[in-house]
Structure 1
């Protein structure tokens, strides 16, 4: 049965949804923008910094539920300007091991929540707990 959770450090979603949904195999993380993060407006307009802020928060959210950004299998990225793709890619790539990038879709969306320029959604494989050595 899925487990629906909200990150206690973020505002409760203004939409009918949860920040995180966990099942036996995956963590599904709702799209996140810097407008969702307190203080994020300070970096709005710099696509690299927006991406770093969002990715750092996503990593913390995953840690909160015992997962890791390194186990991301799929990402959806929405940009308000695809001409900024190289700058977003440079920041995004910092969060993954070289050549171990998740499958990804990147689209241009004319308007994102709160005036943000990037929104990122993740699907992350949950790590299996090591079997008890007493078994």
Structure 2
């Protein structure tokens, strides 16, 4: 297994890995916009938070040699499902192709630091050249 730290951050900041690769699967920990020390958007703006979270996931994917086209499953946790369509508009922009990952979206009472959304995902990274 390979343990991936968040690029550019002190690995001791959180008591977990940003990602864990096991074989050709990459499991990314849930991300919050408030996990990013540079996040300046208002908490509660679902579009700003979703964009920040997806950008953080993208950084971990890239550090692992993957991208959003490699994502096979996404888990979304929202404190207000009334914001689903606004979140979905931002989310969709990260997956422009016709093939989309499997996804679960769950409404929950609250998240750490007052965040409105947390997203995790699983990606597949080929470990060898495809067989013909």
Q: Please confirm whether the aligned pair reaches a TM-score higher than 0.5, indicating the same fold.
A: yes
Counterpart in the other structure of 1:19 = 18
- Structure 1 pair 34/11, CA: closer, same or farther in 2 (3 Å)? farther
More off after superposition, 16-25 vs 70-79 = 16-25
Does the Cα contact within 8 Å between 1:33 and 1:116 map onto a contact in 2? Answer: yes
Gapped regions of structure 1 (runs ≥ 5): none
Does the Cα contact within 8 Å between 2:41 and 2:49 map onto a contact in 1? Answer: no
Aligned residues: 130
Counterpart in the other structure of 1:121 = 120
Distance in 2 between the 1:9 and 1:58 partners? 13
Q: TM-score, normalised by structure 2?
A: 0.88
Counterpart in the other structure of 1:32 = 31
Gapped regions of structure 2 (runs ≥ 5): none
Q: 4+ residue stretches of structure 1 with deviation over 6 A?
A: none
Please report the RMSD computed on the Cα atoms of aligned residues, expressed in angstroms.
Answer: 1.8
Counterpart in the other structure of 1:79 = 78
Q: What's the offset of the Cα at 1:54? A: 0.9
